[in-house]
Chain A
Amino acid sequence: MLTKVHTGLDAAPGVWWKPAHKAEKVWVAIAFAWCMVLFAMMPLWHWRGGQNPSGIRRRVEPRAFYARTQEFAKQYQVGTDRGLPIVQPPAGSDVYMTALTFQWYPILQLTQGETYRLHLSALDVNHGFSLYPLNVNFQIVPGYDYALEVTPTASGDFRIICNEFCGIGHHTMVGRVIVLDKAGQRVSDNANARLGNGATP
C-alpha cells in the first residue's frame, strides 16, 4: 500500500490520493479534536465566563460623542485633578470616556461591585484602551461607540495607558480611573502601587 519512497523535491506519482498510515491519522484526529476544544471555549465563555469583548456597538459622529462626554462630565463632576474633571456617575448608568490626542477624558470615579455601561470612543484617531495594572485592553476607533458592561471587582487607583500609536505624544497619554471600595471610600492603599509590586499576572 505504501507509495514509492520520495522526497518533497521529487515529482509525486500522478495519483497521490493514497490512504495515510494510522500514525498520521491518529495525530490529525488529535489535532482536530484540540481545535474543537479551542473553538468550544469561546461560546462557552460567553455563556459562563465574566469577561467578553461583546458590548453594544454602534456608529457615532466623533464630535457628537465628545460633546456627550463633556455633558456627562459636567453632570456628575465631583472634583478636579490636573485640569481634568473627576466624574462619579451613579451605579448602573451610562458612562462616557473619549480618547483624544493625547488625553483620556474625563477621570472616572466608580464604586467596587457596581455595574456601569462604559462607552468608549475617540475624537480623532485610533487609540488603545489599556487598564493598568489589570491589563484589560480594548481598541478605540473614531466613529464607533463601544459600550461595555463593566463591574470593577477591586478598589484602587487605576491607570489607562494608550496602547495604539496615535502620534508623537502617544507615550504621554495616560488616564485615571478611581474605584471606591464598597463603603464608598477611596482606598488609602494605592492599587496601582500595590498591584505594581507583584500582584499582576
Chain B
Amino acid sequence: MSATLTASGAADAFRTCAFTGRRIHRQAEALVKANAVVAVVSLLIGAIAALLLVLTRWQAVHLLPAVWYYRILGVHGMNMLIFFIIYFEMAVLWFTSTALLNARPANPKLGWVNFGLMLLGTILVEWMQWSGKADVLFTSYPPLKAHPIFYLGIILFAVGALLVVAQFFATLVIAKREKTYEGSLPLVVYGAMTAAIIAVITLLHGAIIYIPTFLWSIGVIKSVDPQIYRMIWWALGHSSQQINVAAMVAVWYMLSALTVGGVVLNEKVSRSAFVLYVLFISMASAHHLLVDPGFGPAWKVVNTSYFMYMAVLASMIHGFTVPAGMELGMRLRGYTQGLFGWLRRAPWGDPGFSGMVFSVVVFGFVGGITGVTIGTEQINIIAHNTMRIPGHFHATVVSGTAMAFMAATYYLLPLVFRRKVAFWGAAKIQPYLFAIGMLLLSMGMTFAGSFGVPRRHWDISFSQAPFSVQFNPAVDLVLAVMGIGGIMAVTGALLFIAIAVKSVFFGEPLGEIVPGRAVAGVPQGLTNPPVHPANVDEVNERLHRENPSWIGPTPGTMALVGIFLAAFVVYYFTNWKLLSVLWKVG
C-alpha cells in the first residue's frame, strides 16, 4: 500500500505503515520524532553526568571536586528524571493517541508551540545549572535559593508539557468522534491515558509550588515555608515518577504484544489496576515525609498505607498480568512445554523483548520490594536520605522506565523513523549490559545505604570534618560494586544513544520486509510477527479448560509471582528486625 492511497483531502497528511497497515499522521509522527530526539540528547547529558558522579561516589576514585559534584548531581537529576523521561513520554502520548488509534492529532501546530515552550524551559534550566546559578540540586528545597530563571525554566517546561497532555486528550476525543476505532480504547492507549491523567495532577502541583518559589526568588513574597514546599514539591517529584510507572506499564503491554503476541487476560483487571494508580498514587508521595517534623503519625500512616498500598496493589496486579499475558500469548502460539518452555523459547536476541523483560524483573524485584519497604513509616528511620533511596529509584526509574523506553525504541526506530536499527549486534546485547550494570549499581547503593552511607554526599571519608567517621570496611566493597555497575550501565546507555543517533540520522532505510525472513537491524517482532493461529479462541478455551484449578492457564507466571512474594516477605521483615535493635525513639 502506498502512502498516497487515501482519497480524502487530507491525503498527504497520512502515510500507511508497511508493517501494521495503520494510518500514520505525518505531523504527529514528526512530533514523536522531535520529542524522541530531545529525549535522547537529555539522556546523553544525564549519562555523562552519571559517569562523573559514580566515579566520585566510588570513594577509591573520587573524581570531581565538591562544587562540581553537587552541580553535576543537579544536572543529572533534571536531565534524567525530568527531561529525558518527560520528552519520551510526550512521544509516547503522540504515538499512542494517533498511530494506535489511526487518528489525526489535535492541532499539530499548537503541538509545535508547546514543544518549543518545553524546549525553551529546558535550555533555561540547563543554562542556570551549568553556570552554577542553581546549585540547589534537583529538589531545590528552600531556603536554598537558585537564580529566578531556573524556576522560570521549570515553569515554562511544565506549562508546555501540560498543554501537550491537553492535546492528547483532545486527540482521544477526535478519534472517538471520527470513529477511527471500534469498541473501547486499546489497553496500551488506556495506560498512556492513565499516565496523562497523573501528569495533569503532577504538573499542577509543580505549578502550585514553583510559582510561589519563583516569586520568592525575585523578592515578591517574603518566604516559602520549607515544610509545605517539601509536601507539595513531592506531589510533583514523586508523582512524576508515577507518570513513568503508568507509561512504562503501557509500554510493557505494547512490547509484549509486538514481540511475543502477549494477550490481555482480562481487560477489567488490567484497567482497574490503572485506575488504582490514578486514584492513589499522589498520596503516595507522602512517603518522602515519613521522618519529617511537620506531620503526625496518623497522616503518615493513612497516606502511605490505605492509599499507597492500593497503588502497590496495582503494580502487583500488572506484575502478574503482563508476564501472564506473555505466557498465554506464547502458549497460544504452541509453546506449551512444561512450566517455563514459553520463557526458554522466547526471542531473547530481540532487544525489544529482553529489555522489556529486564524492565519488569528489576522494577519488581529490586525497585518494588525496596520501595515499599523503605516507604514504611518506621522502617524509613533506617533509610531516609541514605543511599538506599537512590538505590531504590535507580531500580524503578532507570532499570524499569528507562529500560522499557529503550526497548520500545528498538521498535520505534523501524516503525516511526523507518530506519533499520544500527549496530544490530551491539543492540542485541545492549539490554543485557545495561540491566546487569544497573542491577549492580542499585544493589551497591542499597547495601551502602544499609550501612548508613548518606546520599548526595561528596566525601564519606570526611577528611575535612571536625570528627572522624569510620565506615564499615564492607562499604568500600559495595561502593566498588556500585562503581563497576555504574560504568557498565553508562556504557550501555551510551551504546543505546549511539545506536539511536546513528539509526535516526545516518540509518539505512528499511527497504522491503518479507514476513518470515529475518533482516539484520529489524526486530523479529516485525520480520516474524507473532501471529496467533486462526482457531486461537478455541485453543484459548482448551488451555483454560485443561487448567481448571486456581493455577490457571499460566502456571509459569504463578510460580514466578510466588517467588516474588517470598522475596518481598523476607526483605520486609528483615528490615523490621534491623529496626528493632536500635535506640528507643518515639
Q: A51-B378, A53-B377, A144-B293 are in contact. List 4 more A-B contacts (CB 8 A).
A: A8-B186, A8-B270, A174-B462, A198-B473
Task: State whether B541 touches A168 (Cβ < 8 A).
Answer: no
Stretch at the interface among A38-46, A66-74, A86-94, A180-188: A38-46
Q: Is B131 located at the chain interface by the 8 A CB criterion?
A: no
| Chain B residues in 8 Å Cβ range of A162 | 454
**Please, what's the 1-or-0 string for A126-158, where 1 marks a CB less than 8 Å from any CB in chain B?**
101011111111111111111011111110000
Cα A42 to Cα B316 in complex, Å, equals: 20
**Within the complex, what minimum Cβ distance (angstroms) separates B443 from chain A?**
16
**A171/B462 contact (C-beta < 8 A), A2-B537, A135-B452, A139-B385 known:** yes
**A7/B263 contact (C-beta < 8 A), A42-B377, A192-B470 known:** yes
Task: State whether A12 touches B183 (Cβ < 8 A).
Answer: yes
Task: State whether A50 touches B580 (Cβ < 8 A).
Answer: yes
**Please, what's the 1-or-0 string for B532-553, where 1 marks a CB less than 8 Å from any CB in chain A?**
1000110011001001011111
Task: State whether A141 touches B294 (Cβ < 8 A).
Answer: yes
Cα A170 to Cα B66 in complex, Å, equals: 10
Cα A148 to Cα B291 in complex, Å, equals: 11
Residue of A nearest to B466 (CB): A82
A146's partner among B141, B182, B293, B470 (CB-CB below 8 A) is B293
Task: State whether B296 touches A54 (Cβ < 8 A).
Answer: yes
Cα A53 to Cα B380 in complex, Å, equals: 9
Nearest 9 CB-CB pairs, A to B?
A: A23-B552, A8-B253, A7-B257, A146-B293, A163-B454, A16-B267, A151-B584, A8-B187, A135-B452
B contact residues, range: 35 or more
Cα A38 to Cα B374 in complex, Å, equals: 12
Please give the residue numbers on chain B whose beta carbons come within 8 Å of chain A beta carbons, in ascending order: 66-67, 70, 100, 135, 137, 141-144, 181-188, 191, 225-227, 230, 250, 253-254, 256-258, 261-271, 289-297, 300-301, 304-306, 309-310, 312-313, 316-317, 320-321, 324-325, 329, 332, 372, 376-378, 380-386, 450-452, 454-460, 462, 464-474, 532, 536-537, 540-541, 544, 547, 549-554, 558, 561, 565, 568-569, 572, 576, 578-586
Task: State whether A51 touches B263 (Cβ < 8 A).
Answer: no
Task: State whether A12 touches B585 (Cβ < 8 A).
Answer: no
| Chain B residues in 8 Å Cβ range of A52 | 297, 377-378, 585-586
Task: State whether B467 touches A159 (Cβ < 8 A).
Answer: yes
Residue of A nearest to B295 (CB): A57
Q: 5 A-B Cβ contacts within 8 A?
A: A8-B325, A19-B268, A21-B553, A27-B558, A34-B316
Task: State whether B266 touches A21 (Cβ < 8 A).
Answer: yes
Q: Is A108 located at the chain interface by the 8 A CB criterion?
A: no
| Chain B residues in 8 Å Cβ range of A165 | 70, 137, 144, 456
**A2/B474 contact (C-beta < 8 A), A139-B292, A146-B293, A201-B450 known:** no
Cα A144 to Cα B293 in complex, Å, equals: 6
**Within the complex, what minimum Cβ distance (angstroms) separates B180 from chain A?**
10
Cα A195 to Cα B450 in complex, Å, equals: 14
Please give the residue numbers on chain A whose beta carbons come within 8 Å of chain B beta carbons, in ascending order: 2-14, 16-24, 26-28, 30-32, 34-36, 38-39, 41-43, 45-46, 49-55, 57, 82, 84, 115, 120-121, 124-126, 128, 130-146, 148-154, 159, 161-168, 170-176, 192-193, 196-198, 200-201
The total of interchain contacts (Cβ-Cβ below 8 angstroms) comes to 359
**A176/B268 contact (C-beta < 8 A), A31-B313, A130-B385 known:** no
B565's partner among A30, A46, A154 (CB-CB below 8 A) is A30
| Chain A residues in 8 Å Cβ range of B558 | 23, 27
| Chain B residues in 8 Å Cβ range of A115 | 584
Residue of A nearest to B459 (CB): A171
**Within the complex, what minimum Cβ distance (angstroms) separates B575 from chain A?**
9
**Within the complex, what minimum Cβ distance (angstroms) separates B390 from chain A?**
12
Cα A192 to Cα B452 in complex, Å, equals: 12
B184's partner among A11, A138, A164, A201 (CB-CB below 8 A) is A11
**Within the complex, what minimum Cβ distance (angstroms) separates A92 from chain B?**
14
Task: State whether A159 touches B586 (Cβ < 8 A).
Answer: no
| Chain A residues in 8 Å Cβ range of B554 | 23
Residue of A nearest to B270 (CB): A8
**Within the complex, what minimum Cβ distance (angstroms) separates B225 from chain A?**
7
Residue of B nearest to A107 (CB): B467
| Chain B residues in 8 Å Cβ range of A26 | 550, 552
Residue of A nearest to B69 (CB): A171
**A135/B291 contact (C-beta < 8 A), A11-B183, A143-B227, A168-B66 known:** no
Cα A4 to Cα B306 in complex, Å, equals: 35
Cα A38 to Cα B466 in complex, Å, equals: 41
**A138/B381 contact (C-beta < 8 A), A18-B267, A150-B583, A174-B469 known:** yes
| Chain A residues in 8 Å Cβ range of B459 | 171
**A7/B452 contact (C-beta < 8 A), A14-B184, A49-B580, A144-B294 known:** no
Task: State whether A168 touches B67 (Cβ < 8 A).
Answer: yes
Cα A161 to Cα B469 in complex, Å, equals: 9
**A31/B66 contact (C-beta < 8 A), A8-B257, A128-B384, A198-B472 known:** no
Cα A5 to Cα B266 in complex, Å, equals: 10
| Chain B residues in 8 Å Cβ range of A148 | 585-586
